[in-house]
Each structure stands twice: as structure tokens, then as C-alpha cells.
Amino acid sequence: MKQSFTLSLCSTALISASILVGATAAVAGDAKTYPGSMCVRYSGSNPSYSGSMIGNPSSSQWLYLDCPAINDSMSEQLHNSWVAVLDRHYSSDVHCSVHSRYWNNSTAALNGWWGGNNYSAGSGNNLQKLSWGRLSGAGDSVHTYFSCAIPPAYSGHVSYIVNYHANED
Amino acid sequence: MKINSRPAIVLSFLVLGIGIYAGSVWRDRNERITGSRKSMALVAPSDVVARLPDPSAPMLTSQNNGDDPGLAERELLRQELTRVQNRLDELIEFQASLQVSVDDVLSGSGSDDSTPISDYDQSQHFEDAIEQQQNAIDTRLYQEEVDQEWTLETERALNGVLASEALQGFELVSSSCGSTLCKVELSIDPNISPEVAMQKLSHHRSWDGPSFVKLDENGLAQIYFSREGHELPTIDTDTAY
């Protein structure tokens, strides 16, 4: 009798603990990596795609992209983020910045927060990560994206946005 | 980090409550059945079989058991079982009502004291925070000493991009720099929509530091940016929940 009561209490406590751990784990793991192919051209040359990377095959024009990130943590700001790039141009650099945007009804204005411009260095087949820390702007009306520019192809060597990462923890 | 695990905490306490209630019901039932079994141990099995009541016979109370103590014990047991069944039915109803409450909490439609903040309140809170951030940046800029060399270099670069074809329709209204911060005001051709203007500015800006931008419906842009290696003053713009 006592054993039955004790057993039911222990099993309930175990279930409760499991639920709490699971919920905490779900909230703590709010970081995502997106393939470069999710980026959208908004200006410049037409992109090429390879293995879900997005590249600039043009020998003369730059490619300008916006790469969307999902804001699903309504109460958290972006804490850190990065864009992984392949820079194969001998002199021009891939560069990106991270943005949050908000339409402000109180002031009838568009608000924007921009991280600093980050540039790749050198050229080659090594993956480079352009990274940022905290960015202001949180809430379900804010959207976040990375704005990038890819230089033209040099001697047929194409530069790419490989993937990008946003962490709201 | 603010952890939004309220539904999980509520659910775990509800499960705990159900478990404790179920445990007490189980204990009570075991005690009564065990007690009844002890009484039944005093009755020989043959007596029980020989004296099983006619199912169609009216229910006997303990006072009317007459000369058949076994019958009274069985009747008592039946009544106790009926009571336990009723209590289990109550438990099931209680569990169902708890589930409704949990669903309400998870969907944010509950009518308890912790009513979620409306969309309007959240937006207002966030917009108030934005205004505070802008005030904080203005205050810092006002308090900074001016780095003349950096200021001249920054303004020269700014004038250079404003003269470019990419930023046609953007005119400088004023600029003010300290040692780590600058504030620039631009007048933008009203034919350029705010979202296009912001896109062009972000892309062709002459500075690399982080920025805060406000473009209003009148075509006035207020841009704050920090020197490379420095951060903008920020405040917590997390929405309250």
C-alpha cells in the first residue's frame, strides 16, 4: 500500500522532471544554420547554385543578396551569428552584415539595426566565417536577415555564400 | 536568458497533483479492500458460495443482513466499490478539467491572472525601448569629446558616397561626430520608399561600424553609427511576456 503510493509519487516526479528538462532543452537550443541557397538576389548578376551554396558566376558584376533568418524567439535578441563564405577573388572581398528591421507604428518610421560590415580576407578554397555579436531588435514584428555582396568570378573561380548561422540564445 | 517554460512548469505541477491524488485514492482503496479481505478471511469459502445473494433481490443494508454475516460483508464491499468507482469518475472529470486548463495556458487564451500581454502592449513596449535607445545614443554622443581627425575622415567618406550615383536622391542635412559615435541626418527623395532607401543606405554606406537607423514617412533619415571596434549603446529591447 505504502509502496504503491511511493511508486506513484516517484514516477510522477520523474515525469515532471523529464518534462522540465525537455522544455528547457528545447528553449536553450534556439540556434539555426541555413544553407546559402536560401539567400535571395536583390540586385546585380544572376546567381549560380552548387550543393545548396549560392555563388556569383558573372565575370563583371557583383551579386547582392539578402539571406533571411527565422526569428522564432519572440523575447530574445540575436546574440551571435556568422556567415560562412568562399572567397575566390584575388582582390575583392565577400562582405556581409546582419540586419534587423522593424516597422514602428508609434513614430511612423522604419527602424533598422545593422551589424558592422565584415569582409573576407585573401582568396582560396578555405571557408571563412564572418561573425557578429549581439544585435538589438526583438519581438514578433522584427525580422532578421544578412545582407551580402559577392564579387565577380575571377578567372572562372566562383565565390560563394556557403551557409549562415543565427543564435537567439 | 529568459526561459519561457511556463506551460511546462504548469504541466509538471498538474501531473504531480494528479499523481498525488491518484496515489491517495489508490491508498484508500487498498486500505478498504485489505480491511474487507481481513473480514472475509473469517468466513469460510463454502459459506460465501452457499449464500451468494440473488442478483434480482433488493439491495440489503448492513442492518438487514439478518442471520447471514457473509452477505452483509459482501454488500458492504459492493457499496465500498461503488464509492471507489464514483471517486475514480470524479478523478477522471478532474483530469479532464485540468487538461482544458493546460490547453488554455498553452494557447494563451486562459482567463486566469496571467493573461498574455496583447500585441498592442508588446509593440508599445518595444517602441518605447527603441525611443530609449535613441535617447541613450544621443546622450552618449553629446557627452563624448570630439576626435577631430576621425570626424573629418568620416565626413569626407560620407560626402563621397552621397555624391555617387548609387545614392542619388540622398542629401546631407547635418552630421555630428564624437570619438566613437556619429549621427547623420539625411533628406531622402520622397519618391524613394523607406525600405528601398534603407537597403541602399545599408549597402553603400561609407562606414563599417554597427548602426541604428530611423527612416520616417517624411523622408528624414537619422543614422547613428559607431566607430569600428566600438559598439552602439544598447538597451534591452526584449519584449516583456
Lowest-pLDDT range of A125-139, B19-33, B145-159, B172-186:
B19-33
Which residues are paired to A130 by β-bridges?
A83
Number of other residues whose CB lies within 10 A of the CB of residue A85: 27
SS3 state at B21 = helix
Tell me whether residues B2 and A74 touch, CB distance under 8 A: no
pLDDT of residue A104: 85
- Facing residue for A147 by CB, picked from B13, B203, B209: B203
Instruction: Answer yes or no: do B202 and A74 touch at CB < 8 A.
Output: no
Instruction: Report the pLDDT value the prediction gives residue A107, as an integer from 0 to 100.
Output: 81
* Residue B37 pLDDT exceeds 70: no
Closest Cα to residue A149, out of A79, A29, A44?
A44
Partner residues linked to A164 by β-bridges: A34, A83
The 10s digit of each residue's pLDDT in A62-86 is: 999 999 998 876 666 788 899 999 9
Q: Does A121 touch chain B (CB under 8 A)?
A: no
Phi-psi sector, A118: left (phi>0), alpha (psi -120 to 50), beta: beta
Write down how long chain B is.
241
pLDDT at residue A56 is higher than 90: yes
| Mutate which: A6, A8, A97, vs B, most B CBs within 10 A | A8
pLDDT at A26 > cutoff 50: no
- The one-letter amino acid at A167: N
Mean pLDDT of the residues in chain A: 85
Residue A42, pLDDT > 60, answer: yes
Q: What is the pLDDT of residue B23?
A: 74
Whether the predicted pLDDT of B50 surpasses 60: no
Per DSSP, chain A holds a count of helices (H) and strands (E) of 1, 12
pLDDT of residue B177: 96
Pair A138, A75: CB distance under 8 Å: yes
Kindly tell me if the per-residue pLDDT of B64 is higher than 60: no
B112-155 tens-digit pLDDT: 455 556 666 777 778 888 888 899 999 999 999 999 999 999 99
- Per cent of chain A over pLDDT 90 is 62
What is the rounded distance in angstroms from the CA atom of residue A124 to the CA atom of residue B94?
67
Say what the alpha-carbon torsion angle A14, A19, A21, A25 is, to the nearest 10 degrees.
Answer: 160
pLDDT of B229 over the 70 cut: yes
Angstrom distance (rounded) from CA B195 to CA A112: 10
Q: Residue B38's pLDDT is what? A: 45
**Using one digit for the tens of pLDDT, what is the confidence trace for A89-101?**
999 999 999 999 9
Of B104 and B64, the structure prediction assigns the larger pLDDT to: B104
Longest Cα–Cα distance of chain B, Å, equals 115
Residue % of chain A over a pLDDT of 70: 78
Report A:49-108 residues touching B (Cβ under 8 A). 64, 74-77, 97, 99, 101-102, 104-108
Q: Give CA–CA dist A159/A90, Å, rounded.
A: 10
At A18, the amino acid letter reads: S
Contacts of A28 in chain B (CB under 8 A): 1, 3
User: Cα–Cα distance between B91 and B20 in angstroms, integer?
Assistant: 11
Distance (Å, rounded) from C-alpha B183 to C-alpha A135? 19
Contacts of B236 (CB under 8 A, 6+ apart): B129
pLDDT (tens digit per residue) in B70-117: 888 888 898 888 888 888 888 887 787 777 667 666 665 544 455 556
The ipTM of this complex is: 0.78
A106 or A28, higher pLDDT: A106
Q: What's the confidence (pLDDT) of residue B188?
A: 96
Dihedral angle of Cα A21, A27, A31, A35, to the nearest 10 degrees: 100
Query: What integer pLDDT is reported at residue B34 of this predicted model?
Result: 47
pLDDT at residue number B143: 93
Q: Does B23 reach chain A within 8 Å, measured CB to CB?
A: yes
Q: Give the per-residue pLDDT at B198.
A: 93
Q: What is the radius of gyration, based on Cα positions, of chain A?
A: 22
Distance CA B230, CA B183 (A): 15
Most confident option among A6-15, A41-50, B25-34, B89-98? A41-50
Q: Which residues of B touch A77 (CB under 8 A)?
A: 237-238
pLDDT at position B31 over 50 = yes
Asked if B68 and B50 count as a contact pair (C-beta separation under 8 A), the reply is no
Share of chain B above pLDDT 90, in %: 34
The residue written with cell numbers 469460510 in the block is B44
Structure confidence at residue A70 (pLDDT): 87
Closest-CA distance, A138 to chain B, in angstroms, reads 5
